[in-house]
């Protein structure tokens, strides 16, 4: 009897962690109670959250094998499947947020709009599609939408919808990356960071003055670990995991400035909730502990040209003639040398949804009526 009890005890002891891991790996653990307040999301950013803006806005070709899993076709996303923002939307049981520029796609924008476009930065301010331009597009979109509401247009977002919406910002990586590409010294890149932070502060203030109260701010990832950077940079100063130390150091300085900005905004903006999400730590952990997560060659692109160690060639990028994709993207963190695979994004999403990387610790559905399972 005693041994029977012990066997059950150890079975339970082993089963609970296993169940926890399974739940953590599945990003659909929190849902909005959409019957009371359908989730509305507005996103501003770069290619990390571009769901088709570059393709729709400039006709930029993003060819197969992009989108080869889940969508089974290219959707303008730089990945083999879903992005982090897609997985976060799915956790709310809402549809993907459509690119603002995709009016030809017949998008209804009933659950918000995505203003993110690949290549975007905060500076210079007035070049397509900088953060300032994305904000101008939002202001135009909001004014036009509220006009439609007054004419009795059925499914348009009303003033309350804009007020209760979630405003996501994920930008800054290109500011840092472009600075290094222009051969600025590390000290010169660091000197630019306060100006980048100021642009993000201005964006938050603009959205707040428009009635926005719910903000979800992603910091920037360890871009010194991107196969693209590793293949292009000569005389690399590598850390123990093979990433460029100076690039990642600049990312951490930027992130610290962004974290302080969020603290400042919380005290300055009355009745606003500003959540800071540490994407850097999540992504760096994926690379540092790749085998634990089932990934091989964490610094090598699945889709590209050139083979090991990085499989990246600027003249033969993923989707262009001569490039080749690996058979199993689930074994790779990097999809095309710059962006992540759906497999990596799924783990990132589960960690974001865990609240462990959010300050303050906040469930992603905080902006709408909450129902947890």
Q: 68-92, pLDDT tens digit by residue?
A: 999 999 999 999 999 999 999 999 9
pLDDT score, position 34: 46
Q: What pTM, to 2 d.p., does this model score?
A: 0.90
Of the residues 47, 79, 91, 130, only one is catalytic, namely 47
Of the residues 86, 102, 175, 336, only one is catalytic, namely 336
Whether the pLDDT of residue 339 is over 70: the answer is yes
End-to-end CA, the chain: 36
More confidently predicted of 13 and 45? 45
Angle at 185 between CA 340 and CA 118, to 5 degrees: 30
Provide the β-strand partners of residue 303.
325
The DSSP secondary-structure symbol of 73 reads S
Q: What is the mean pLDDT of residues 187-216?
A: 98
More confidently predicted of 150 and 263? 263
> What confidence tens digit (pLDDT) does each residue in 293-315 have?
999 999 999 999 999 999 999 99
At residue 20 the predicted structure's pLDDT band, cuts being 50, 70 and 90, is very low
Q: What is the rounded distance in angstroms from the CA atom of residue 294 to the CA atom of residue 286?
A: 10
Cβ–Cβ under 8 Å, residues 132 and 8: no
pLDDT score, position 104: 67
Of the residues 120, 156, 177, 339, only one is catalytic, namely 339
> What confidence tens digit (pLDDT) does each residue in 229-260 have?
999 999 899 999 999 999 999 999 999 999 99
**Burial class (CB within 10 angstroms; exposed 0-12, middle 13-18, buried 19+) of 184:** middle
Active site residue 285: no
Mean pLDDT, all residues of the chain: 90
Q: What is the mean pLDDT of residues 363-367?
A: 96
Can you read off the two tokens belonging to residue 281?
């730590």
Active site residue 336: yes
The helix (H) or strand (E) run that includes residue 280 is helix 279-288
Phi, psi of 102 (to 5 degrees): -90, 50
Active site residue 267: no
Whether the pLDDT of residue 11 is over 80: the answer is no
Which residues make Cβ contacts (< 8 Å) with residue 17, sequence separation at least 6? none
* CA dihedral angle for residue 262, residue 368, residue 211, residue 110, rounded to 10 degrees: 120
β-strand 166-170 against 41-45: which pairing, if any?
A: parallel
pLDDT score, position 23: 38
Q: What is the rounded distance in angstroms from the CA atom of residue 366 to the CA atom of residue 335?
A: 31
> What confidence tens digit (pLDDT) does each residue in 106-162 have?
677 899 999 999 999 999 999 999 999 999 999 999 999 999 898 887 678 999 999
Whether the pLDDT of residue 22 is over 80: the answer is no
Q: For residue 115, which of 38, 177, 167 has the smallest C-alpha distance? A: 167
Which residues make Cβ contacts (< 8 Å) with residue 181, sequence separation at least 6? none
The per-residue b/e assignment along 322-359, b for 16 or more CB within 10 angstroms, e otherwise, is ebebbeebbebbbbbbbbbbbbbbbbbbbbbbbbebbb
Match 């969508």 to its residue by tokens.
71
Q: What is the rounded distance in angstroms from the CA atom of residue 299 to the CA atom of residue 339?
A: 12
Cβ–Cβ under 8 Å, residues 316 and 310: no
């Amino acid at each position: 009897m005693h041994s029977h009890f012990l066997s059950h005890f150890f079975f339970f002891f082993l089963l609970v962690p296993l169940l926890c891991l399974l739940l953590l790996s599945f990003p659909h653990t929190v849902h909005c109670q959409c019957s009371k307040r359908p989730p509305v999301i507005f996103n501003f950013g770069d290619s990390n959250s571009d769901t088709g803006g570059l393709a729709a806005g400039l006709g930029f070709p993003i060819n197969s094998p992009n989108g080869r899993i889940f969508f089974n076709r290219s959707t303008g996303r730089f990945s083999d499947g879903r992005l982090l923002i897609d997985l976060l939307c799915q956790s709310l049981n809402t549809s993907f947020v459509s690119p603002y520029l995709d009016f030809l796609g017949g998008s209804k924008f009933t659950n918000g709009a995505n203003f993110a476009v690949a290549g975007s930065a905060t500076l210079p301010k007035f070049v397509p599609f900088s953060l300032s331009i994305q904000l101008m597009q939002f202001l135009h979109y909001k004014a036009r939408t509220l006009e439609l509401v007054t004419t009795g247009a059925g499914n348009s977002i009303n003033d309350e919808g804009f007020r209760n919406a979630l405003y996501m910002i994920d930008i800054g990586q290109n500011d840092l990356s472009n600075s290094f590409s222009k051969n600025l010294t590390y000290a010169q890149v660091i000197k630019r960071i306060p100006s980048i932070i100021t642009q993000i502060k201005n964006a938050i203030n603009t959205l707040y003055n428009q009635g926005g109260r719910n903000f979800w701010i992603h910091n920037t990832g360890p871009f010194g670990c991107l196969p693209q950077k590793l293949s292009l940079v000569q005389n690399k100063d590598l850390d123990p995991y093979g990433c460029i130390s100076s690039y990642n150091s600049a990312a951490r300085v930027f992130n610290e400035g962004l974290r302080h900005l969020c603290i400042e905004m919380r005290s300055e903006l009355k009745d606003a909730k500003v959540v800071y999400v540490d994407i850097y730590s999540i992504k760096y952990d994926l690379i540092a502990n790749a085998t634990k997560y089932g990934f091989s060659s964490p610094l090598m692109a699945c889709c590209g040209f050139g083979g090991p160690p990085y499989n990246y060639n600027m003249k033969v990028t993923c989707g262009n003639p001569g490039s080749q994709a690996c058979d199993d993207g689930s074994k790779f963190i990097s999809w095309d040398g710059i962006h992540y695979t759906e497999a990596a994004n799924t783990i990132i999403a589960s960690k974001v949804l865990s609240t462990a990387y959010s300050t303050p610790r906040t469930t992603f559905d905080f902006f709408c009526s909450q129902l947890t399972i």
